């Protein structure tokens, strides 16, 4: 049996923070606002995994008012979410994601993001797709106010 889930996350830019996407620190004048490291890519992928099994979203498991998760590395969060999925006898088939932002340009960092995510989830890199696009100057991403990510995950039951 196959299940598919989608995840969507948005974080606003904030001064004085690092910009982390897929566990990669991107040189940029601003980072993303959030309780954890605000890795919007990892958050959207985690939500897509949880959504595939109708388990809710990461806010349910990692509430932003809980001090334990303050500054948390989102690759750890993603790994924990996937361990929960595997505990229910599902494995990841693939992830497809798209990062939406006007700036910074991300093409040079995509391979490292894919590498980090594939290692974290214990799957081959060809199972992890990360793309980046602009919104042609439209909306909050086009105005440079933040970053959005849309992710889809396909999982399969291993013990039927």
Please give the mean pLDDT across all residues of the chain.
95
- Answer whether residue 42 shows pLDDT above 80: yes
Per cent of the chain over pLDDT 90 is 88
Q: CA separation (Å) from 105 to 17, 71, 79, 156?
A: 18, 24, 27, 34
Which pLDDT score, from 0 to 100, does residue 69 have?
A: 80
What CATH number is given to the structural domain containing 116?
3.30.1330.50
Angle, to 10 degrees, between the axis of helix 110-121 and the axis of helix 74-87? 40
Give residue-wise pLDDT tens across range 128-140: 999 999 999 989 9
Question: How confident is the model at residue 58, as a pLDDT?
Answer: 92
pLDDT per position as a tens digit, 84-104: 999 999 999 999 999 999 999
* Mean local confidence (pLDDT), 115-135: 97
Number of domains within the chain = 1
Residue 38 φ then ψ, to 5°: 65, 30
Q: What is the pLDDT of residue 149?
A: 98
Confidence at residue 21, expressed as pLDDT on a 0 to 100 scale = 98
Query: 30 in helix, strand or coil?
Result: coil
Nearest to 12 by CA among 125, 114, 101: 101
Write 106-112 long-range contacts (CB < 8 A, 24+). Answer: 106/21, 106/26, 106/132, 107/132, 109/21, 109/22, 109/24, 109/26, 112/22, 112/24
Range of the domain at 31: 2-157
């Amino acid at each position: 049996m196959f299940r598919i889930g989608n995840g969507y996350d948005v974080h606003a830019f904030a001064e004085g923070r690092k910009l982390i996407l897929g566990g990669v620190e991107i040189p940029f004048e601003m980072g993303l606002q959030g309780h954890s490291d605000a890795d919007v890519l990892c958050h959207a992928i985690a939500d897509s995994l949880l959504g595939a099994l109708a388990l809710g979203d990461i806010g349910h498991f990692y509430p932003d008012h809980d001090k334990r998760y303050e500054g948390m590395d989102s690759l750890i969060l993603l790994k924990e979410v996937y361990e929960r999925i595997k505990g229910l006898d599902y494995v990841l088939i693939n992830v497809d994601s798209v990062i939406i932002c006007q700036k910074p340009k991300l093409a040079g960092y995509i391979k490292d993001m894919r590498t980090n995510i594939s290692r974290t989830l214990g799957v081959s890199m060809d199972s992890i797709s990360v793309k980046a696009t602009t919104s042609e100057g439209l909306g909050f991403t086009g105005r440079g106010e933040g970053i959005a990510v849309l992710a889809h995950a396909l999982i399969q039951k291993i013990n039927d």
